[in-house]
Amino acid sequence: MGSGFSFLFTETFPAPAPARPSLGDLPESCVASVLEYLDPPEICKLAVLNKAFNGASSADFVWESKLPPNYNSLIERVFGKFEEKLCKKDIYQKLCKNNSFDGGNKKVWLDKSSGKIFLSISSNGLSITGIEDRRYWSRIPTDESRFSSVAYLQQIWWFEVDGEIEFPFPAGTYSVFFRLQLGRPSKRFGRRICNSERVHGWDKKPVRFQLSTSNGQSSVSECNLNEPGKWIHHHVGNFVVQDSNVCTKIKFSMLQIDCTHTKGGVCVDSVVIYPSEFKDRLKNF
């Protein structure tokens, strides 16, 4: 009899609700199509969300869209050959480092957020009149330079610094600067000091800055050097690159060749070439 009524006391449970879809259910190809429109830092942040986002964040077509269009030429110029085994993400990461080339006298890197090219040329990579004569110039080590040393002028009549570079710049507008400081940098008891005793002659005549390119662009500007103890980026000029597939050769110089007086006490660190829209970053360079 008990078995006849047992069905009255049988417990019943509702069927489990279907699981709601989540980001992890998205196909990697769809996620990658979205990541293609984000900046590299945003892509890297989203890569830790789940497996789908992590896989999509390494897709070649995502990172190829962030690389300069002529990245193959950049790699050949800087590293000597194209590293075919690297995926596009690894190529991007490699180009974002401070990459030395031309005997260590030049450095180039991509901005991590925008993929724009930045380039710096050390004083060792420049032609400086009288640099071999220790009566006029000396090389001094310092941690205030990307290249760990600067050229320091004690005194000279004919001041001239020239340089040139041929490089596969991506299309865009670029600005050229000399990075200079009046006074000799050093440290005392761990604190930065600047000796400006030898600074003289720069207030009598302005320094002339000149820029020219292989496709006929040119600019000339002048300014007096002042403000001892501060690294200042002196604008030489701008140039425009229209074809990323053609190397652009640029020449630049600064001179003060009025031989009626001597000048001295200036440090020449480097020449920097930046995309013109990033001028404000020079304050933190």
Please name the residues in contact with 71: beta carbons below 8 A apart, sequence gap of 6 or more. 91, 95
Contact 99, 78 (CB under 8 A): yes
Contact 245, 178 (CB under 8 A): no
Separation in Å, CA 125 to CA 79, 150, 222, 240: 18, 11, 23, 23
For 60, phi then psi, to 5°, come to -60, -45
- Quick one: pLDDT at residue 154? 95
- Per-residue pLDDT tens digits of the chain, which is 285 residues long: 455 544 444 555 565 655 565 555 567 778 778 888 888 889 888 888 788 878 888 888 899 999 999 999 999 999 987 656 889 999 999 999 999 999 999 999 999 999 999 999 999 999 999 999 999 999 999 999 999 999 999 999 999 999 999 999 999 999 999 999 999 998 888 888 899 999 999 999 999 999 999 999 999 999 999 999 999 999 999 999 999 999 999 999 999 998 889 999 999 999 999 999 987 776 544
- Quick one: pLDDT at residue 5? 47
Which tokens hold the place of 238? 């701008």
Q: What's the burial of 173, exposed, middle or buried (CB within 10 Å: 0-12/13-18/19+)?
A: exposed
pTM for the complete prediction?
0.86
DSSP the chain: -GGGSGGGG----PPPPPPPP-GGGS-HHHHHHHHTTS-HHHHHHHTTS-HHHHHHTT-HHHHHTTS-TTHHHHHHHHHSS--TTS-HHHHHHHHTS-EEETTTTEEEEE-TTT--EEEEEEGGGSEETTTT-TTTEEEEE-TTSTTSEEEEE--BSSEEEEEEEEE-PPSEEEEEEEEEEESEEEEETTEEEEE-TT-BSTTTSPEEEEEEETTS-EEEEEE----TTS-EEEEEEEEEE--TTS-EEEEEEEEE--TTS-BB-EEEEEEEEEEGGGGGGGGG-
- Quick one: pLDDT at residue 56? 82
Give, in degrees to the nearest 5, the angle at Cα 230 between 167 and 206. Answer: 75
- Quick one: pLDDT at residue 18? 57
> Rounded CA gap, 144 and 192, in Å?
10
- Quick one: pLDDT at residue 8? 45
Please name the residues in contact with 182: beta carbons below 8 A apart, sequence gap of 6 or more. 196, 199, 202, 225, 226, 227, 228, 229, 230, 265, 266, 267
